[in-house]
Amino acid sequence: MRKIAAFVISGYPQALAAVTGFTLLSALLPVIGLLGGGCITLIALKLDWRRACSVIAGACAVLAAVSLLAVGWQGGAPVIVTTSLLQWLPLTGFAWILRRHHALAWPLTAALAVGAAGVLAALPFAELDDWWREALRDYTVLLAADERLTAAFDAIVPVMTGIALSSLVMVWSLMLLLGRWWQSLLDAPGRFRDEFTALQIGGGIAILSLAVFAVSTQAESAVWRQLAIVAMPPFLLQGVAVVHGLLANLEQRRMPLAAFYTVLAVVTVIEPRLWLLVVLIGLVESLFGLRRRFAPANKD
Each residue of 252-265: pLDDT tens digit?
777 888 888 888 88
Last residue of a domain, one of 72, 101, 130: 101
Q: Are 107 and 199 in contact (CB under 8 A)?
A: no
Q: State whether 124 and 250 are in the same domain.
A: yes
Last residue of a domain, one of 70, 101, 132: 101
Q: State whether 255 and 221 are in the same domain.
A: yes
CA-nearest of 136, 244, 257 to 197 is 244
Give the pLDDT of residue 149.
62
Give the pLDDT of residue 40.
97
To the nearest 10°, report the CA torsion of 50, 52, 53, 58.
130
Dump the DSSP string for 212-255. HHHHHTT-SSHHHHHHHHHTHHHHHHHHHHHHHHHHTT-TT-HH
3-state secondary structure of 9: coil
Q: State whether 94 and 108 are in the same domain.
A: no
Q: State whether 146 and 288 are in the same domain.
A: yes
**How would you write the pLDDT of the chain (300 residues) with one tens digit per residue?**
889 999 999 999 999 999 999 999 998 899 999 999 999 999 999 999 999 999 999 999 999 888 888 776 665 678 888 889 999 999 999 999 999 998 999 999 999 999 999 999 998 887 888 888 777 766 665 555 566 666 777 778 889 999 999 999 999 999 999 999 999 999 988 899 889 988 999 999 999 999 999 999 888 889 999 999 999 999 999 999 998 888 876 767 778 888 888 888 887 777 777 788 899 999 999 998 877 776 555 544
Q: State whether 86 and 218 are in the same domain.
A: no
Give the pLDDT of residue 299.
45
Taking the C-alpha atoms of residue 53 and residue 66, their distance in angstroms, rounded to an integer, is 20
Q: State whether 169 and 272 are in the same domain.
A: yes
Domain coverage including residue 298 = 103-300
Q: State whether 48 and 115 are in the same domain.
A: no
Q: State whether 169 and 222 are in the same domain.
A: yes
Q: State whether 286 and 144 are in the same domain.
A: yes
Q: Give the number of other CB atoms < 10 A from CB of residue 130.
A: 10
Query: What domain count does the chain have?
Result: 2
The alpha helices in 9-76, defined as continuous H runs, are: 12-25, 33-46, 49-70
Q: How far is CA 20 from CA 59, 62, 91, in A?
A: 6, 7, 16
Q: State whether 78 and 26 are in the same domain.
A: yes
Q: State whether 126 and 43 are in the same domain.
A: no
Give the pLDDT of residue 136.
75
| The model's pTM | 0.90
pLDDT in tens, 115-161: 999 999 998 887 888 888 777 766 665 555 566 666 777 778 889 99
Q: Are 178 and 41 in contact (CB under 8 A)?
A: yes
Q: State whether 65 and 114 are in the same domain.
A: no
Last residue of a domain, one of 40, 66, 101: 101
